[in-house]
Amino acid sequence: MSVTSKNGVPKVSIIMPSYNTAQLIAASLDSVLAQAFQDFEILVVNDGSPDTVELERVLSPYMERIVYLKQENKRAAGARNTAIRRARGEFLAFLDSDDIWFPDHLASQMKLFDKDPSLDLVYSNCYSWNDPERKETFMERCPSHGTARFETLVVERCQIPVSTVVVRKSALERAGLFDEKLLRCDDYDMWLRAAFHGAKIAYTQNIQARLNERRPGSLGVSSEKMQEACWIILEKLDRELSLSDSQRSCVRERSAQIRGRFLLEQAKTKLDEGQFGKAKELFAEANVYLRRSVLSLTEFSLGLAPTTARKLINVARKVRRKVRPRSRQDKEIAAAHDKPQEAPQP
């Protein structure tokens, strides 16, 4: 089942939820079994997957090396919590069953804990499989700068790819585990709450995994839905956590920005559909949060000549860079709460 410590208890419990990944999970498991660090157990959770017959056929050769758990569908958060409650390791390592680790991943992450025993959570850089032809790293698209803590996670100065995380089980238990009510972005919520409850976080820019982020049907496909999820999470934290004045200000500013961006995406959708009146309303509502003169101009133009305005907006969208740098507002919020520091290296 696992290669364990002398006392028979594994140091690390590897958490692998599976839903419609029968064709991909073997590569993920092979990458785990190829790790230089071998003191682990593997918990695979069949989260009510419709491909169960095929999944169990694929898992058959691995059954002596894994703990196989089967449940009704509870989404990623519920699957992860099920595995966490069964985990025996002091540390938890997360690997989505369509991602892979490079052979030194666990060894490198555990060295960070050896170097600084006060750490609770560590993560790393990785390749993002948005485009199979382009080797883009996660931190090229979603950089980590300075200290990873509650405020910098809120404004996404530091962003954590779940399949690179190794964390003390006690840190997640202290924060209350994953929120199973959330439809998506439950990992973002988890890291925020862990940080709020005192988890010390570090990261390395070493590339230690490869993510399959844009698999059809995965929870991260819709940008608009992701924005909505992040906004819902921040509003939830504002209600439920005993935030300091500074933390609350940070959360509310970020929540307003994300809500504005969500409304802006909806406005663009209505514009493309030719629903000019609704688009005008949504642009106006978005501008309440974003306060951009260009949105005021767009709203005004839609009121006068909606067809012409749509053509001009579409031209502007085509020439705009596909990946925009972080907004000035994001930078200002982050700068108000943290100063850049060198990221820990293994």
User: Could you report the per-residue pLDDT of 98-109, keeping only the tens digit for each?
Assistant: 999 999 999 999
- Mean pLDDT over each residue of the chain, to the nearest integer: 83
Structure confidence at residue 272 (pLDDT): 73
68 forms beta bridges with 44
Mean pLDDT of 284-313: 54
Token pair for residue 178? Answer: 């994953």
**Cβ-based burial of 175 (10 A; exposed 0-12, middle 13-18, buried ≥19):** buried
Rounded CA-CA distance 240/155 in Å is 19
Biggest CA–CA distance in the chain, Å, is 76
Higher pLDDT, 221 or 114: 114
Structure confidence at residue 109 (pLDDT): 98
Lowest mean pLDDT of 1-15, 105-119, 150-164, 193-207, name the range: 1-15
Lowest mean pLDDT of 228-237, 261-270, 291-300, 331-340, name the range: 331-340
Higher pLDDT, 150 or 286: 150
Higher pLDDT, 169 or 312: 169
pLDDT band (50, 70, 90) for residue 313? very low
Structure confidence at residue 344 (pLDDT): 43
pLDDT band (50, 70, 90) for residue 343? very low
- Contact in structure between 92 and 15 (CB atoms under 8 Å): yes
Structure confidence at residue 274 (pLDDT): 76
Mean pLDDT of 330-341: 42
Q: Flag whether pLDDT at 311 surpasses 50.
A: no
111 forms beta bridges with none
Q: Flag whether pLDDT at 287 surpasses 50.
A: yes
The domain limits of the chain are 2-221, 226-320+327-337
Structure confidence at residue 292 (pLDDT): 60
- Contact in structure between 62 and 55 (CB atoms under 8 Å): no
Structure confidence at residue 330 (pLDDT): 47
Amino acid at 72: E
Mean pLDDT of 197-209: 97
Rounded CA-CA distance 259/278 in Å is 17
Structure confidence at residue 269 (pLDDT): 75
pLDDT band (50, 70, 90) for residue 116? very high
pLDDT band (50, 70, 90) for residue 264? confident
Q: Flag whether pLDDT at 172 surpasses 60.
A: yes
Q: Which CATH superfamily is domain 2-221 in?
A: Spore Coat Polysaccharide Biosynthesis Protein SpsA; Chain A (3.90.550.10)
Vertex 119 angle, CA 43 and 136, to 5°: 70
Rounded CA-CA distance 314/316 in Å is 5
pLDDT band (50, 70, 90) for residue 323? very low
Q: Flag whether pLDDT at 222 surpasses 80.
A: no
pLDDT band (50, 70, 90) for residue 317? very low
